[in-house]
Amino acid sequence: MAGRGGYTLTVRHGSAVRREHFDELAEALAELERRAEQVRAEGPLEGLSALRDFEPGRQVHARLEISTGGLLRRRDAGVDVMGDGSTVPYVGGIRRRALEPDRGDPYAAVADALEGAR
């Protein structure tokens, strides 16, 4: 990874936010999957009670997002790792829309969404 590449991976896990830059989409996708699997390996979150109860499956444990392009032609897609270990692929930054993963693979859904942005 030299300098700032064309793809930015942003990982929001707890209060930490980390960004990495990649020249190739394949590298960014591989790192997104590796990091998401690390979060999943931490195990499920506990339920949360704050004015109402939130089961682990309703809590976002970590959000991992790849951004491409500049300000005007930007494309964002990623996965939310939920508190129960499930993953929810999505497209969009501000207006996120859940993706239905083809082949049951959330990472392939993210790749398909970003490859269409080239």
Q: What is the per-residue pLDDT across 15-70, written as a single tens digit (0 to 9) for each?
A: 999 999 999 999 999 999 999 999 999 998 887 677 777 787 888 999 999 998 76
Q: Grade residue 71 by pLDDT with cuts at 50, 70 and 90.
A: low
Give residue 5's pLDDT: 66
pTM of the model: 0.85
User: Could you give the percent of the chain with pLDDT greater than 90?
Assistant: 61
Residue extents of the structural domains in the chain:
7-75+85-115
Higher pLDDT, 101 or 99: 99
Are the C-beta atoms of 43 and 89 separated by less than 8 Å?
no
**Closest by CA position to 77, among listed 38, 108, 44, 41:** 108
